[in-house]
Amino acid sequence: MPVEPFWVSSDDWHTAGEPFRIVSELPPHCASTTAISAKGLTVSQRRKDIVNTPHHPVDLLRKALCHEPRGHADMYGGFIVPPDDAGAHFGVMFWHKDGFSTACGHGTIALGCWAIASGLVKAPIDGKCEVVIDVPSGRVVAEVDMKAGKPDQVHFINVPSYQVAAGLTARAGGNDKTVTLDLAWGGATYAYVDVAQLNLHVLPTHHDEFVRLGREIKADLGDQGRHNDLELYGVCFYEHFLDSAEVIEQRNVVVFADGQIDRSPCGSATAARVALLLAQGKLIPGKRFIHRSIIDTLFTATIDSSAPSPTSFPACIPRVTGLAHLTGKHQFHVDEADPTYPGFLFR
């Protein structure tokens, strides 16, 4: 049944350069679907319903807002949905050009700022405010430090994170060249590759090369990259700079989904990196991790607490700190009769 043309409003933010488009009110034909309106479902179950239903209205809305002409191949966003229970302020369905992700740290930081700016969560003029959010990977917190009535910094407190595997190899770079990598979970699974193996530096001029390498590594790993019944989400290429008694500093670029480049240091990948460094004995409670992005924006991270681990490696609750900024508010018109609907992509 064709849907009449409709309008959708969004609040657009960026966290350390990575976009996050927030849609707090879905159009009626999406809001009435089982995945959104049914009571008693978790955000994870809502995500699975949408992912497993061909041409689901919420998925078509994702494409309309993420793909061109309203978005682009590296767009990111989230739909606000009911929380798992009354313990959270709201739930969110994270999305990108290829589908719905299970975790998003930069989005959680943006949602903390948005929840306060929109009045959904009341915050003090000075002090701390917790925004509790249910996401597909579990319950996370955006702890906002308020200063003179504005967010000064936001701490993304993640689900338990841990190393999954060590010393795997994958082909990348041509001529049967292989790289050694580790896997870690931070709400999604990431592979970590030291760029010294590829004779590269993490610089914007190499972004196309990283997209190609990320796709190669993900394809070659195949099922080895699966964890928690999910495929490998991203490949984190990192460059090491400093390891002192007080701080570890690295620059990284994450290639996630099918060739998307994270402009930020990637919140969930930073969280998983914290767990990986813990397992390697390089990061201990009280020591800071500075994670720079390909555009040289940064997150800082620490170990918030320990956690039970489902693997032989230790687990922790990471705390990743950054800040988001509003870029605009939009009113999008969507019409199924538009010959470009639901959208198109160029890489």
* Catalytic residue (choose from 30, 104, 113, 236): 104
Residues 176 and 313 in one domain: yes
**pLDDT of residue 254 exceeding 80:** yes
Whether residue 343 is contained in a domain is answered as no
**pLDDT of residue 2 exceeding 90:** no
Residues 185 and 167 in one domain: yes
Phi, psi for 174 (deg, rounded to 5): 80, 170
Structure tokens at 288: 């800071």
Question: Is 104 designated active site?
Answer: yes
Q: By three-state DSSP, how is residue 107 classified?
A: helix
> Strands 76-81 and 18-23, how do they pair?
parallel
Interval 33-61 mean pLDDT: 97
Interval 75-84 mean pLDDT: 98
Residues 266 and 309 in one domain: yes
Residues 230 and 288 in one domain: yes
Residues 229 and 315 in one domain: yes
Whether residue 28 is contained in a domain is answered as yes
Sign of CA dihedral 238, 241, 243, 249: negative
CA distances from 223 to 134, 220, 226 (A): 28, 9, 5
Whether residue 339 is contained in a domain is answered as no
pLDDT band at 167 (very low <50, low <70, confident <90, very high): very high
Whether residue 277 is contained in a domain is answered as yes
Interval 113-142 mean pLDDT: 98
Whether residue 342 is contained in a domain is answered as no
Whether residue 345 is contained in a domain is answered as no
Return d(Cα 15, Cα 326) in angstroms, integer. Answer: 9
Q: By three-state DSSP, how is residue 328 classified?
A: strand
Interval 292-317 mean pLDDT: 98
Phi, psi for 97 (deg, rounded to 5): -65, -25
Residue 115 belongs to domain spanning: 6-154+326-334
Contact status, residue 158 vs residue 140, Cβ threshold 8 Å:
yes
**pLDDT of residue 174 exceeding 80:** no
Domain count of the fold of the chain:
2
Residues 167 and 300 in one domain: yes
| CATH number where 18 lies | 3.10.310.10
Contact status, residue 256 vs residue 237, Cβ threshold 8 Å:
no
Residues 139 and 177 in one domain: no
Interval 265-290 mean pLDDT: 98
Residues 330 and 280 in one domain: no
The residues, any chain, with a CB within 8 Å of residue 280's CB and separated by 6 or more, are none
What's the pLDDT at 176? 81
Residues 87 and 187 in one domain: no
Whether residue 236 is contained in a domain is answered as yes
